[in-house]
Structure 1
Amino acid sequence: MHLYDALLMECDNLDIEVYEKDRMKNKGLYGDNVIWINKLLPSIIEKCCVLAEEIGHHHTTAGDIFDQSSIENRKQELKARGWAYERLIPLSKIIQAHKLHIVNRYEFADFLNVTEDFLDDALDWYKNKYGLCVSIDNFTICFEPLGVIEMFDWIETPKLKYGT
């Protein structure tokens, strides 16, 4: 099952109707438990990223925020995007990609089933949220440059005595 289908099922569980429409000026819109996705987006991966953001609006947005000249509306837009970034690219997936030896942006975006632009925006968002690095368990994720450092638990081994 593709991630887009999983998000559609999530919408169904949240009683959100989802429609793909052509002739839309925007990539997606959310209002009153209805999401519209631009049918002409070039890939299902891009539709997935847009759908996640629109679900983010369901969880984080109040009122009409269409006018982005308002600072409050821009803050709500950023909250919805942040929700989408954390939903599609949780920090645990960055660690998992490190463990799988994924080494470039294209492979990383492909592994996550997101667009490279969405990935870049998510990493910028995480950097703004946490600073240059964040530690989770035995790992430190650095956002600039992107990398994961794994810490080891040093266990002192008993010293062998020779000649006794």
Structure 2
Amino acid sequence: MNKYEELIQEAADNNVNVHDFRLEDNLSGLYVDGNVAIDTGIETTTEKTCVLAEELGHHHTTVGNILDLSDAQNAKQERQARLWAYNKQIGLRGIVNAFEHGCRSSQEIAEHLGVTDEFLYDAVECYRDKYGLYKEVDNYIIYFIPNLRIGKMI
């Protein structure tokens, strides 16, 4: 089972229906009342996986209509949904795991984790905002600035 199929199963386990739907206004996905719509224009399974993860994040973390991101409370809920998706699909331990498997570039890490380069980049920015310049995980240091780097502590 690939990551997209795993998320489809998680959605079903949480009584969330997933639909392919043509969305407007440059939306890739939308969550409304236990239903996720994923834009039919998305071409790759990897991108669909990232979109579905974020929409499941909305299922687990947001309340109400948050489409107006100029509202600070809505923007906060959007960030929470994205953080949920980043932790679900990547996580700090996932970054370390990719390093342990020989991944050194961001592109290699994204491919190993089954996410898009953009999704990984956005996750790293989010983690940087949350943790600062770096974060220690087990015997590793994950640096977020100037770009993603991982080092093993001795």
Give the corresponding residue for 2:149: 147
Give the corresponding residue for 1:82: 83
**TM-score, length-scaled by structure 2:** 0.94
CA distance in 1, matches of 2:138, 2:79: 28
Q: Which runs of 5+ in 2 are unaligned?
A: none
Deviates more, 1:65-74 or 1:80-89: 65-74
Q: 1:146 is matched by which residue type in structure 2? A: L
CA distance in 2, matches of 1:93, 1:30: 26
**What is the RMSD of the two structures over their aligned residues, measured on CA atoms?**
1.1
Q: 1:87 is matched by which residue type in structure 2? A: K
CA distance in 1, matches of 2:2, 2:110: 15
Q: CA deviation at 1:23?
A: 4.5
The percent identity for this pair of structures is 40
Give the corresponding residue for 1:15: 15
**TM-score, length-scaled by structure 1:** 0.88
CA distance in 2, matches of 1:76, 1:108: 27
Alignment deviations for residues 103-126 of structure 1 (CA, whole Å, 9 cap, x no partner): 222221111111101110000000
Q: For the structure 1 residues 101 and 32, does the alpha-carbon distance in structure 2 shift closer, same or farther, using more than 3 Å as the test?
A: same
Q: CA deviation at 1:95?
A: 0.8
Give the 4+ runs in structure 1 shifted more than 3 A.
none
Superposition map of 1:14-163 within 5 A = 14-25=14-25, 26-144=27-145, 145-152=147-154
